[in-house]
Structure 1
């Protein structure tokens, strides 16, 4: 006899809830360790740079249980721990892997997103200045992980991990993120594009006043040519 439909729903909710809760505990632990590794790395960098230039700003700032910032000179890296457990689109390699096929509940993931902003955008309250998604860390209930990102980050973490997340993985990730942010410079728009501005743009101190944009963080969809 087939299972009672109500019992099936109850079993499904209970199993999914348990898996999601474990994934969330894992991503919370990863977030805490990521902040600790960031603090250690930034202190090491600061100790080395202050001997040559004491004015370079380097610090880690805790904003809340779900957010912390890293100030690296003119860059501000924003780390956000999301409270929702998510799944990736069905056509992702991860979801088509034998690892997920063997146990579909492995598809549920906690996530941490890392954004790159100009530090002055926050300091001067330039609300229209853009930030860019630099990388994201996804962790499942078994503590296996996926890292997505551009350039160095994407190269180092090409596929889902075969082993649970460790501190050394987080150290490598945070090092690559800081390095990538430091390597990319500001590029201002061409002169004709910023020749005219509105009073609103002037009052809000937007990027139209020549603040520039960080380059190197455009995701693939941003490079598509529009008709």
Structure 2
């Protein structure tokens, strides 16, 4: 007699649920570790800069259990923990790897996204100012991880880790993220582009006033939309 399909469905759901719950616990733990590492790094930066320039703004602000911000001078790094467990498209190298082929349940991932905004955009409530995805940390049920990002951020962690995530990995990642944000200057829009503005744009202090965009992130974003 054939097995009852309901029993098979229940087994699949239980297996996936267990893996997803474990993955979610891992990503939540990593998010707290990232925040702790960020606080330590910011305090270290303060000690190295305050005597030379006390006006440099450095801080870590917890917004909620799923979001915190790092203020680095004129930049605001926004860390967001996503509560849903996801899978990547099938054509991703991660999903085509032997690591996932050996155990398909490793494809389930928790994610933390890091966005870069200009700090003034939040301070002056400029709702139309853009922010850009700088990095994405993905962790599975075994606490192994990959990082997607621009330049050195992605290069350092382009393949799945050989071992579970450690604080030293997060320390390196945050340093790379902060460095990349700090090294990218603002690019003002061309003069003809900001010649005409509306009353609403003036009142909302939008980018049409010539506030500028981050150079590196604008280029990365434009390349992605063209592909």
Q: Same fold (TM over 0.5)?
A: yes
RMSD over equivalenced CA pairs, Å: 1.3
Give the match for residue 8 of structure 1.
8
Give the match for residue 128 of structure 2.
128
Give the match for residue 169 of structure 2.
169
Q: Which TM-score applies when normalising by structure 1?
A: 0.96
Contact 1:150–1:219 (8 Å) recurs in 2: no
Contact 1:68–1:78 (8 Å) recurs in 2: yes
Contact 1:66–1:81 (8 Å) recurs in 2: yes
Give the match for residue 88 of structure 1.
88
Name the SS for the 1:86 alignment partner: coil
Q: Which TM-score applies when normalising by structure 2?
A: 0.96
Contact 1:58–1:73 (8 Å) recurs in 2: yes
Distance 1:32 1:152 in 2: 24
* 1:82-104 CA-partner distances (Å, limit 9, x unpaired): 00000000000110111111111
Shift of residue 3 of structure 1? 2.9
* 1:97-116 CA-partner distances (Å, limit 9, x unpaired): 11111111110000000000
Aligned residue runs from structure 1 range 1-227, under 5 A: 2-218=2-218, 222-223=222-223
Unaligned ranges ≥5, structure 1: none
Shift of residue 215 of structure 1? 1.6
Distance 1:61 1:2 in 2: 57
* 1:135-158 CA-partner distances (Å, limit 9, x unpaired): 010000000001000011011112
Distance 1:73 1:21 in 2: 37
Shift of residue 222 of structure 1? 2.5
Unaligned ranges ≥5, structure 2: none
Q: Classify 1:218/1:5 alpha carbon distance in 2 versus 1 (closer, same or farther; 3 Å).
A: farther
Name the SS for the 1:130 alignment partner: coil
Displacement over 6 Å in runs of 4+: none
Name the SS for the 1:68 alignment partner: strand
